[in-house]
Structure 1
């Protein structure tokens, strides 16, 4: 059985922006996140990403811009000895009635179906918003909220699922994920 973790992108791996992360120059990793992903890989985890990218539907950036951001992520991870096994993204806007946009579990289910030897209950879904956690729970995964990105605001609003683990950052979540998986 393989060990798997599913990460949200903006606010978990890289800094988020209310104006959207629109270019490779705007895509900047949160300190410690690249190293944390690399450490998860070294501990035998397959690290994947499920991210809403409605900026595509809104015309704020193009597919080529998103590809460049992900290329930058892959390059930074490669230098640290880590990798991302799979990236699923929802290009739709909130009114498009798709099945992939979080809080729906479409992207997470796609990732889980790519790893049939992994039980969903053994998988952490790490996010900075309630919709990340809800998507993970809908797919049967374990929710973990990080306080980076919109995480502190999410925590302050209350109403988190009762089994949610809260960590300051992806870097701080590293030991928890390894110990509890």
Structure 2
């Protein structure tokens, strides 16, 4: 199985320090929807692992989050692709859960769901926490320069981190290798 795991905010859609609180605020990044569809059509399973502490903070509810993900799935389907499992952490940063990145709980959940070996997967994110979660389970950490990626690029990245301009560039690399 060719499994690719993506962070959501800043990788697939625009991010906001004020949180993405509605379907109207959930706006795809240029080329991201097409990239997911291309990967899917090329035989990749594309799963998503996303921290969503806005739920714990009371900014939006699970029904709203589900509606955002339904929109994502519909847009990818319009391009002939499919989004796999979407796993989210609804907890705040101080709740001590095992799922909130940089902890690798969500990645393990996805791997268990698909019976996949995380050491054979890439995890694409825009934050240091994303890269650290990938490193914790032996996945290939991939930084995109969208979202918070430019600021993350200036940090002390895991040594094996691959760097791309955006999700479309990641897709092009994976599809053509």
TM-score per shorter chain, which class?
over 0.9
Number of corresponding residues = 177
Instruction: Give the Å deviation of 1:36.
Output: 0.2
Kept in 2: contact 1:52–1:89 (CA 8 A): yes
- Equivalence for 2:14: 15
Q: Tell me the alpha carbon deviations over residues 67-106 of structure 1, each in whole angstroms, 9 at most, x when there is no partner.
A: 1100110110110011111000000000100000000000
* Within-5 A mapping of 1:142-181: 142-156=140-154, 158-179=155-176
Deviations 1:132-165 (A, max 9, x none): 0111111111010000000000002x20011100
Task: Measure, in 1, the Cα distance between the counterparts of 2:102 and 2:176.
Answer: 27
Output the CA distance in 2 between the equivalents of 1:121 and 1:56.
31
- Structure 2 spans left out of the alignment, 5+ residues: none
Q: How far apart in 2 are the matches of 1:134 and 1:113?
A: 19
Separation in 2 of the partners of 1:69 and 1:6?
18
Matching of residues 130-141 of structure 1 within 5 Å: 130-141=128-139
3-state SS, counterpart of residue 55 of structure 2: helix
Shift of 1:24: 0.1
Query: Is contact 1:124–1:177 with CA below 8 Å preserved after alignment?
Result: no
Q: Secondary structure at the match of 1:61?
A: coil
> For residues 1-181 of structure 1, what are the structure 2 equivalents within 5 Å?
2-116=1-115, 118-156=116-154, 158-179=155-176
- TM-score, reference length from structure 2: 0.97
SS of the residue aligned with 1:57? coil
RMSD over aligned CA atoms reads 1.0
Consecutive unaligned residues of structure 1, counting only runs of 5 or more, are none
> Using the alignment, how far apart are the partners of 2:84 and 2:64 within structure 1?
20
Distance 1:140 1:179, change over 3 A: farther
